[in-house]
Amino acid sequence: MSSSMRFGVNYTPSQGWFHHWLDFDLDAVRRDLDAIAALGLDHVRVFPLWPVFHPNRSLIRRQSVDDLVDLAEAAAERGLDVSVDGLQGHLSSFDFLPAWTRTWKRRNLFTDPDVVDAQAAYLRTLASALADRSNFIGMTIGNETNQFALAEHPDPDPITPDQAEAWLRRLLDACEQGAPGRCHVHAEDAHVFYRDDHPFTPGHSARLGAMSVVHSWVFDGTAQRHGPRGVATEHHAAYLVELAKAWALDPLRPVWLQEVGAPQPLIPAESAADFTEATVRAVLDCPGLWGITWWCSHDVSRSLADFPELEYTLGLLTNDGEVKPAGRRIADLAKEWRGVEHAPAARTTALLVDAGDEATASGRSVCAAGGPVFEAFARLTADGLRPALLLAQHAGDPAHLAARGITDVVTPEAV
């Protein structure tokens, strides 16, 4: 992996949103990628729709796979690397699951042997199709697939932490079989760090896959408590990066900020550019950061119905390709950091995280907005310190502390 900072964007097609796979228009994709490349970004994360690509358990559509390869080739022509999510899965409040997993064919997405075999074959097929592309970063199993395991999901797929780990390992192995040596990861939302009962755990996030992945959204209670320009709000992404490092067994394991955005109205439109720059500069102060991938490239067209209001305005570009103020700010930051080695100083003061048993993290809600760890991190940051986060189980490991450069440890109660 390069030590230079990566700046990219989650690609939301301007024509048809992710439904563009139904009538794929390569010329329209090229125009979108031209606009992304013009911002000076170096990669895109793309989202095949699982039911479009894999409509029957034994049918993976060759034309859809070819369309994905064409998109990757068009990105390469514009100097953009490509990361591909597989199981979509969940996107912008909509679920996209193939008919062979639902209603009359209802089967658990994580534990049914036939479903998991089919998922593995699908991910292996996508990875194999891109394996010889020099601009292919790797696969992400899917986008926030952990949401399907939540009890409050309208049609949940309940599992245990052990079953979640077995599923992740099986599908990461499938990606590796399809494209050996690429950067294959899995991606969950912040529930894995905040929800005591979530079967996907911080340990899964920080120990499985080529690197840790975090998604930062301040509508999780952070902006509601601290406001659009609060220290905790502007440092939320940095906080999640440090949380991922707290659970990592490898002190040098890289972290990818794979999703972060400025959701209105919690971040007002007139504040979006400042929030964007403050968030990026804060997270750039975290050692071990691999890259930042903003959500998202283009606004969702108002012609499409039933999205939550905030989803229509998250783009760095408008739906017709005009660069928004936040887009200009990202472009300036990408230019500033192009070719510059990312080597911030170690965070020498660590805030202790006691979330219970290391494997299940049954007390991890201490890390959520309003919890003692979260609020102590915000106070230390506001006081000008650069806190790391340290799992209680690692506090007595001199080698771990030395590898991370930690010299002082404080508790939330002391703060």
> What is the rounded CA–CA span in Å between residue 49 and residue 87?
7
Euclidean distance between the first and the last CA atom of the chain, given in angstroms as a whole number:
36
Q: Which residues of 119-135 are buried (b: 16+ CB within 10 A; e: fewer)?
A: bbebbbbbbbbbeebeb
- Same domain for 184 and 50, yes or no, is yes
- Same domain for 377 and 317, yes or no, is no
Decide if 343 is inside a domain. no
- Same domain for 317 and 357, yes or no, is no
- Same domain for 328 and 354, yes or no, is no
The 10s digit of each residue's pLDDT in 183-200 is 999 999 999 999 999 999
- Same domain for 317 and 363, yes or no, is no
**Radius of gyration of the chain measured on its C-alpha atoms:** 20
Decide if 143 is inside a domain. yes
The 10s digit of each residue's pLDDT in 203-261 is 999 999 999 999 999 999 999 999 999 999 999 999 999 999 999 999 999 999 999 99
Q: Which of 200, 266, 222, 253 is nearest to 368 (CA)?
A: 222
Q: What is the pLDDT of residue 369?
A: 97
> What is the rounded CA–CA span in Å between residue 279 and residue 231?
10
Residue 59 DSSP class: B
Decide if 180 is inside a domain. yes
Supply the range of the domain harboring residue 151: 6-337
Q: What is the pLDDT of residue 214?
A: 98
Decide if 275 is inside a domain. yes
Q: What is the pLDDT of residue 4?
A: 86
> What is the rounded CA–CA span in Å between residue 122 and residue 116?
10
Q: From residue 47, how far is each of 23, 141, 143 by CA, in Å?
A: 15, 11, 8
Q: What is the pLDDT of residue 255?
A: 98
Residue spans of the chain under pLDDT 50? 1
For all residues of the chain together, what is the average pLDDT?
Answer: 97
Decide if 202 is inside a domain. yes
- Same domain for 330 and 365, yes or no, is no
Decide if 415 is inside a domain. no
Q: Please tell me the total count of domains within the chain.
A: 2
**What CATH number corresponds to the domain at position 192?**
3.20.20.80
- Same domain for 11 and 147, yes or no, is yes
Q: From residue 409, how far is each of 236, 347, 396 by CA, in Å?
A: 21, 11, 11
Decide if 344 is inside a domain. no
Decide if 330 is inside a domain. yes
- Same domain for 307 and 174, yes or no, is yes
- Same domain for 98 and 124, yes or no, is yes
- Same domain for 41 and 63, yes or no, is yes
**End of a domain among 337, 365, 388?**
337
- Same domain for 124 and 30, yes or no, is yes
**End of a domain among 307, 337, 367?**
337
- Same domain for 183 and 306, yes or no, is yes
**End of a domain among 276, 304, 337?**
337
